[in-house]
């Protein structure tokens, strides 16, 4: 994936929020603060497994036919995005982003 134009501008410019730093520094701080706590990691893991269980439970007793690797990859990617960024994350709105990451 190639980072260009507006995306690069957002990453390089100072934050527009009062007290903010540069975008990358703010993201790093948010991620580090959230993951530095062992309880935060436990919570994220629990949330991920709850999402994965939800996808398995949707299969039901009749089953479904899927391409196993792709289904598993997409399910785990959605679960990770939900656990890290909450239900209003970019992957929830545009699942094609999973292909961009993989």
Query: 51-66, pLDDT tens digit by residue?
Result: 999 988 888 788 888 8
50 closest CA partner among 83, 90, 95: 83
What's CA 10's distance to the chain center, in Å?
19
11 closest CA partner among 24, 28, 21: 24
> What pLDDT, on the 0 to 100 scale, is given for residue 30?
74
Burial zone of 71 (CB within 10 Å; 0-12 exposed, 13-18 middle, 19+ buried) = middle
Q: What is the pTM of this model?
A: 0.60
Cβ 79 vs Cβ 51: under 8 Å: yes
pLDDT band at residue 86 using 50, 70 and 90 as cut-offs:
confident
Whether 34 has a pLDDT exceeding 70, the answer reads no
15 closest CA partner among 6, 31, 27: 27
């Amino acid at each position: 994936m190639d980072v260009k134009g507006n995306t690069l501008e957002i990453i390089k410019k100072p934050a527009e929020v009062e007290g903010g730093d540069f975008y990358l520094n703010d993201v790093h701080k948010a991620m580090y603060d959230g993951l530095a706590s062992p309880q935060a990691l436990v919570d994220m893991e629990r949330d991920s497994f709850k999402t994965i269980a939800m996808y398995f439970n949707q299969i039901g007793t009749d089953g479904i036919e899927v391409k196993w690797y792709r289904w598993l990859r997409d399910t785990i990617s959605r679960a990770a995005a939900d656990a890290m960024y909450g239900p209003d994350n970019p992957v929830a709105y545009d699942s094609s982003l999973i292909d961009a990451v993989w």
